A and B are shown apart, each in its own frame.
Chain A
């Protein structure tokens, strides 16, 4: 060690270090300031300014071109001329201006004097009143006198003032006259070039200049920068930070600058206009930005102002890669709310729109919910709002009368083998149970289920067929009577609501099918299949036709051989769950081979949750087996088991994967048979999986204040109740209703043969009549072979459906007797008009064959019980207005009657007369009216 003082004490060296450190500190401070001022959002705001300026410049050029140059030149020339002529009178103008200036002084002086006098007058009035009140008459008289003296002075001042103003006006008028032409021309020029001026000022405002550069300069930008964070603070919506809720603050518009403005539809991202401005963001849309913000629907971190920290979520891996490259994007692993990928945004609608069958304007979500209902998700999974969900599979209470055990076994092996379009999922022999051991167990379980169902179902009485049906007649009937309203059959695929009618010859007996067709409720009291009121022959024909089709491939599937030791093993596995080994063994020994099979069948039904979709004896009150899904859309991602699968750790990725391959998360895992995942494979395609994922994401609970969420009023609630039933019974399979075209209608070449349109039905028909009709349909259009089936609705459902129709048409509940009270004159006139318009030609009670269906119309005898009187008048006045494309002729074009001699030619009165006549119209009248027509028709 050196004895001398260490070099650190060297002042010179310290100074060098001081210099170095000062320099580095300066650099790091500059870096700090730059780091702070070159923020991502500033870049976008600058880009937006540039973009807007270029856009405005483009528009400016267009505007310049658009101006009529000739006209402009002419106006400018005129202006010059006008100025010249005005200049000639310059001295006069100057003289006049001098005079008005002098007058202005006088006016001011006079005004002042006038106002002063008035002040004194007001003050004196006060004192006069005061003294009078205190009975000081002397003083009062004094003030009264003063006021009296002053009054004429005030009057004369006022007159002077008016005189002066008149003089002034005259002079100004003269000046105006001289300069008027020039001013008028200037105004015209301005008008012509108005858009140019406006755009020029915009461009100027957006062009870079020193002032904005200074305002936006680093360290100076605290004052009033033009680049600044934009934010929307939402009064009634909150971000939940678990221990504290805070108002939502959305700063998305800091970069998405054109989102709420029109004109940026083709702009590059992020400046693009919102694609649904009429529905979102704009002030007069149902969801204005100031009230709902952005993250309420899109999710993400509203307060963040960088691309990554706002928690943008890419749509696909490709987009993720693109974002990483372009924006340095990375996943925000810690964000509470990540943005929903755009394809799933509709999932947010249900936060506020609850209690509805379909969320309006959210097609993907609606489709997802429909799929969830169709495939019966709620059978296994509890979902709030889906409690009333019907069981989607057929009841198995009487299954032994319908099916053979072998068929059940083949079916359970793989339902799609029998019918590719079936909604029954595959439960056994999936990827996690495909090893030999598991497959043996699955085979045994299937045999067990078949055995259990045979044992635990009750037979029903099946009659024999009255005749051997004719398959060809049967095919025609299937196409005509209405089967196609729910089923795909006879090669026609209009509906897939009920099961596709194929291969039935390999499935059921003629006796069962006949009984089923005659009365579905006889076999299953809960079925949604309505009674088509088929005659015995019709039912026999259809039976013959449907049983013709066999699925031979399915019939030839080899039945698995069930080993008794596998059955015993399974039985023991179930028994050991509850009993000690020895007790379990003893119990097993006490069972016969058949009992063992039935036992594992019963346990498998519990394990797989078959009763979620099917009613099965012995499982009436068993709880569903699946995870509750009420909160699934907001479930913590950590709680989803991704297993050993490499997948994005997001809810949507998991849901999608689970729906596509329900057992995939068992891949690579070591599990015993009954611990394996149980969700069956529905065979969803990509679209279906995406829609269902949207639905699952929509199952979230967020505390939205009542005033912010959509509250259904009474009318809307009644409509939703109806919509539920319409969905359950597939009314739209046949009828055009509630904005949706009847699916089966496209099958008919002649629209007259298709089931009727029900748009505006509530306004058209009488509620009481509709109730009766739905309960017990009667023939309205006898020429239709398509028929309204009997659904055997209960009273509550009937009421709901009637109220649904009435509410859709906005018909209020009315207790007024609206039966027409016809006068003799009206009846007479109505009868005449009825004849003249040849109503009976189409509206026949018994239409004879020959006329095309489109020219046939309902029997008018029914009118008085069926239709609403007001509607009839409205209909007669202008049928096309109520139902576009109807074959009903318009008699009163433009409200003009072709029969001026009747009722003074008043179209409205004539319509009422016809209506009144119709209210007296009965079978006799109809017969009478029809008689003279016969020879003409012939």
Chain B
């Protein structure tokens, strides 16, 4: 029975299913936040999640990976992430209801009553600090530093993994050229996070959780954080094995696994597959369709969106800030789009100019 479940899970698991599944869960959660944060639904979710984990731990391979000292913090992150997402959403939904009823948000009622920093706050902080110390001491007793052999230039470990917090970026390397996945996108992430407070300068909902007041921004942010960051880290940590091949959670990491790599570039699809003619020798001509698509992607949707779904935002923040926002958002969305293109059409690069190492 157990083996059959494992086999079924392994058979179902693939980057596509995981990604699509997660987006579905994300969509449901963001669409029905109230229902999703009720006691029963969240309890069922938590139980299911824990049950999966408990079941997984009976498997030697799964246990080996999740209890690996390097991976323990990531496992902890799963729980922490789940809890705080739930917590924030619950508070936000509560507040939204209160506001709808004309009551002040919950944080406001609490803020009316004041206590002294000392002893109340300091004392609590001190106790929390003690618990943190206990946690660290116990951790250091039970989990030894996961040191490996001294680096040997002739042997690289397989899989060669980045530190856990970079595993999302490493996962992006599957879909993008290193300079995009390793340089451009991280830069945009940092710049984007810095820019956020300047794009949305609305102070109306400052100081308390609220979902209804900024549905769109929260959804965008959560998509980036949940799907494009946390999920990619999970995939990179637990499901990527030797040679960066994808493995199901209960599948043994076989170094010798061979999977076909049959990806092709857009120019090849257009000129060879569709037009049945050779690739143009001029790179610009060859890549013209791809370049046009990229230019189209960054030029047309912003305008359309400004007039439709993002009309409110556009009106609120004005063209400059909208421009920055929309570029950041399109950059972010480029990742899932590229992923789906890869899965659906084996597309390697939209623009591939090996002449000067420029691939998109």
Is B110 engaged at the interface, CB distance under 8 Å to the other chain? Answer: yes
Is B130 engaged at the interface, CB distance under 8 Å to the other chain? Answer: yes
Is A334 engaged at the interface, CB distance under 8 Å to the other chain? Answer: yes
Q: Inside 8 A of B150's CB, which chain A residues have their CB?
A: 241-243, 336
* The residue from A3, A28, A242 contacting B109, defined by CB atoms under 8 A apart: A3
- Chain A nearest CB: distance from B272 CB in Å? 25
Q: A11-B119, A336-B150, A336-B152 are in contact. Are A5 and B113 (CB under 8 A)?
A: yes
Question: What is the bound-complex CA distance between A329 and B47, given in angstroms?
Answer: 37
A636 nearest CB neighbor, chain B only:
B155
Is B4 engaged at the interface, CB distance under 8 Å to the other chain? Answer: no
| Mask: chain B, 122-139; 1 = CB below 8 Å from A; 0 = not | 011011001101100110
Is A653 engaged at the interface, CB distance under 8 Å to the other chain? Answer: no
Within 8 A of A (CB), among B149-171: 149-155
Q: A6-B110, A25-B134 are in contact. Are A18 and B141 (CB under 8 A)?
A: no
Question: What is the bound-complex CA distance between A24 and B134, given in angstroms?
Answer: 7
State whether A18 touches B109 (Cβ < 8 A).
Answer: no
State whether B152 touches A11 (Cβ < 8 A).
Answer: no
Q: Inside 8 A of B138's CB, which chain A residues have their CB?
A: 28, 31
* The residue from A11, A14, A25, A31 contacting B141, defined by CB atoms under 8 A apart: A31
Q: A1-B106, A3-B109, A25-B134 are in contact. Are A18 and B126 (CB under 8 A)?
A: yes
- Chain A nearest CB: distance from B37 CB in Å? 14
* The residue from B113, B119, B133, B147 contacting A25, defined by CB atoms under 8 A apart: B133
Question: What is the bound-complex CA distance between A32 and B142, given in angstroms?
Answer: 10
State whether B149 touches A334 (Cβ < 8 A).
Answer: yes
- Chain A nearest CB: distance from B315 CB in Å? 34
State whether A5 touches B123 (Cβ < 8 A).
Answer: no
Is A37 engaged at the interface, CB distance under 8 Å to the other chain? Answer: no
Question: What is the bound-complex CA distance between A24 and B131, given in angstroms?
Answer: 9
Is B94 engaged at the interface, CB distance under 8 Å to the other chain? Answer: yes
Q: A1-B106, A3-B109, A5-B115 are in contact. Are A18 and B120 (CB under 8 A)?
A: no
Is A29 engaged at the interface, CB distance under 8 Å to the other chain? Answer: yes
State whether A21 touches B123 (Cβ < 8 A).
Answer: no
State whether A35 touches B110 (Cβ < 8 A).
Answer: no
* The residue from A5, A6, A21, A28 contacting B127, defined by CB atoms under 8 A apart: A21
State whether A32 touches B137 (Cβ < 8 A).
Answer: yes
Q: Inside 8 A of A21's CB, which chain B residues have their CB?
A: 127, 130-131, 134
Q: Inside 8 A of B120's CB, which chain A residues have their CB?
A: 9, 11, 14
Within 8 A of B (CB), among A17-75: 17-18, 21-22, 24-25, 28-29, 31-32, 35
- Chain B nearest CB: distance from A725 CB in Å? 39
Please classify how large the interface on chain B is, using the bins under 10, 10 to 19, 20 to 34, 35 or more: 20 to 34
Is B60 engaged at the interface, CB distance under 8 Å to the other chain? Answer: no
Is A223 engaged at the interface, CB distance under 8 Å to the other chain? Answer: no
Is B148 engaged at the interface, CB distance under 8 Å to the other chain? Answer: yes
State whether A28 touches B141 (Cβ < 8 A).
Answer: yes
Please classify how large the interface on chain A is, using the bins under 10, 10 to 19, 20 to 34, 35 or more: 20 to 34
* The residue from A9, A18, A25, A242 contacting B115, defined by CB atoms under 8 A apart: A9
Q: Inside 8 A of B106's CB, which chain A residues have their CB?
A: 1
Is A335 engaged at the interface, CB distance under 8 Å to the other chain? Answer: yes
* The residue from B133, B134, B140, B151 contacting A242, defined by CB atoms under 8 A apart: B151
Is A816 engaged at the interface, CB distance under 8 Å to the other chain? Answer: no
- Chain A nearest CB: distance from B49 CB in Å? 26
Is A821 engaged at the interface, CB distance under 8 Å to the other chain? Answer: no
Question: What is the bound-complex CA distance between A18 and B130, given in angstroms?
Answer: 8
Question: What is the bound-complex CA distance between A4 and B106, given in angstroms?
Answer: 11
Most buried by B among A4, A24, A335: A24
Q: Inside 8 A of B155's CB, which chain A residues have their CB?
A: 636, 638
Question: What is the bound-complex CA distance between A1 and B109, given in angstroms?
Answer: 10
Is A211 engaged at the interface, CB distance under 8 Å to the other chain? Answer: no
Question: What is the bound-complex CA distance between A516 and B54, given in angstroms?
Answer: 79
B124 nearest CB neighbor, chain A only:
A14
Is A8 engaged at the interface, CB distance under 8 Å to the other chain? Answer: yes
State whether A17 touches B127 (Cβ < 8 A).
Answer: yes
State whether A14 touches B109 (Cβ < 8 A).
Answer: no
A34 nearest CB neighbor, chain B only:
B141
Question: What is the bound-complex CA distance between A6 and B111, given in angstroms?
Answer: 11
| Mask: chain B, 94-117; 1 = CB below 8 Å from A; 0 = not | 100000000000100110010100
* The residue from A4, A22, A29 contacting B137, defined by CB atoms under 8 A apart: A29
* The residue from A18, A241, A636, A638 contacting B123, defined by CB atoms under 8 A apart: A18
B157 nearest CB neighbor, chain A only:
A334
| Mask: chain B, 273-307; 1 = CB below 8 Å from A; 0 = not | 00000000000000000000000000000000000
A241 nearest CB neighbor, chain B only:
B150
Question: What is the bound-complex CA distance between A636 and B156, given in angstroms?
Answer: 12
- Chain B nearest CB: distance from A487 CB in Å? 48
Q: Inside 8 A of B109's CB, which chain A residues have their CB?
A: 1, 3
A28 nearest CB neighbor, chain B only:
B137
Q: Inside 8 A of A25's CB, which chain B residues have their CB?
A: 130, 133-134, 137
Within 8 A of B (CB), among A395-439: none
State whether B149 touches A336 (Cβ < 8 A).
Answer: yes
State whether B124 touches A22 (Cβ < 8 A).
Answer: no
Question: What is the bound-complex CA distance between A335 and B138, given in angstroms?
Answer: 26
Q: Inside 8 A of A241's CB, which chain B residues have their CB?
A: 150
B256 nearest CB neighbor, chain A only:
A644
Q: Inside 8 A of B151's CB, which chain A residues have their CB?
A: 242-243
For this complex, 25 residue pairs linking A to B, each with C-beta atoms less than 8 Å apart, are A1-B109, A3-B109, A5-B110, A5-B113, A5-B115, A6-B110, A8-B124, A9-B115, A9-B120, A11-B119, A21-B134, A22-B130, A28-B138, A31-B137, A31-B138, A32-B137, A32-B141, A35-B141, A242-B151, A243-B150, A243-B153, A334-B148, A336-B150, A336-B152, A638-B155
Closest 10 CB pairs of A and B: A21-B130, A334-B149, A241-B150, A28-B137, A334-B148, A1-B106, A5-B113, A17-B127, A18-B127, A14-B123
A-side residues, CB < 8 A to B, are 1, 3-6, 8-9, 11, 14, 17-18, 21-22, 24-25, 28-29, 31-32, 35, 241-243, 334-336, 636, 638
Given contacts A3-B109, A28-B134, A334-B148, 16 further A-B contacts (CB under 8 A): A9-B115, A14-B120, A14-B124, A21-B127, A21-B131, A25-B134, A25-B137, A31-B137, A35-B141, A241-B150, A242-B152, A243-B151, A243-B153, A335-B149, A336-B150, A636-B155
